[in-house]
Chain A
């Protein structure tokens, strides 16, 4: 998997809001500002979904957004990964059970990393992406255990 190796050095993000309250989106935007300096990990936004490696999904997936999420995912080149950000993208959060929603992002696409929080802090979002990269290196994404 030579391409996986390349992604490890510069994962390009595609951010898609499937029905968030915008709280998570603001945190995702915050996490790609110079203050948090995501480029030290090679992380930046992809100019087009067709250049993206990591799909960052925020918000509950609404019935209408579900089709779009699937279509976006299909347009991304392999290998591709999904990071679900926020309680809504994990399980539906506060919108769970409401009439227009399908549920969490994993109802539609395969999710690799879940970042909990409502909304998660930018540090947590970046940590999620780093864990994904560590996972690609063969680990389980966790820090080495002491001792």
Chain B
């Protein structure tokens, strides 16, 4: 499965490797995330995968934020992890909620905890998870230098 998938996404793939058996990681440019989802829907069919969760990780030494989209591929009984790196100072990535409404919680969470901006998501707001007293100070708790 991995070979054919990497092949069909080859114009976007920066790097690909196995995280563990049945869990393939494909690194893509952050600005291309939305296009990759469009392509995935084309290649696999809209009904044969779903976005399980979006995970953000702060990497202060590298001045980057890593963002992982965990995608369940039913037909292959496997996971695909779409990985992108964003600059920590200005973490912007295109939103996919118009393609995948289920991405709403993941995008709001990653925004609230790490300050990632999902461009095109009009529902983006603070205090989805983070309590008011923290968010009103502009603190993103999962940033390693947030001090909370």
Cα A63 to Cα B129 with chains together (Å): 10
Cα A64 to Cα B148 with chains together (Å): 17
Assess whether B5 is interfacial by the CB under 8 Å rule.
Answer: no
Assess whether B141 is interfacial by the CB under 8 Å rule.
Answer: yes
- The majority secondary structure among interface residues of chain B is loop
- Which residues 46-103 in A have Cβ within 8 Å of B in the complex? 62-64, 99-100
Spot the interface stretch: B35-43, B114-122, B130-138.
B130-138
CB distance from A9 to the nearest CB of B (A): 41
Cα A64 to Cα B130 with chains together (Å): 9
What is the number of residues of chain B that contact chain A, defined by CB distance less than 8 Å? 8
CB distance from B129 to the nearest CB of A (A): 8
Cα A86 to Cα B130 with chains together (Å): 24
A92-116 interface bits toward B, Cβ cutoff 8 Å, 1 = contact, 0 = none: 0000000110000000000000000
Contacts of A64 in B (CB 8 A): 129, 131
Max count, chain A CB within 10 A of own CB: residue among B131, B133, B134, B141: B131
CB distance from A42 to the nearest CB of B (A): 38
Residue of B whose beta carbon sits closest to that of A63 = B131
Interface residues, chain A, with chain B CB atoms under 8 Å away: 62-64, 99-100
For this complex, 15 residue pairs linking A to B, each with C-beta atoms less than 8 Å apart, are A62-B131, A63-B131, A63-B132, A63-B133, A64-B129, A64-B131, A99-B131, A99-B134, A99-B141, A99-B148, A100-B129, A100-B130, A100-B131, A100-B134, A100-B141
Cβ-closest 10 pairs across A and B:
A99-B148, A63-B131, A100-B131, A99-B134, A64-B131, A99-B141, A100-B130, A100-B134, A63-B133, A62-B131
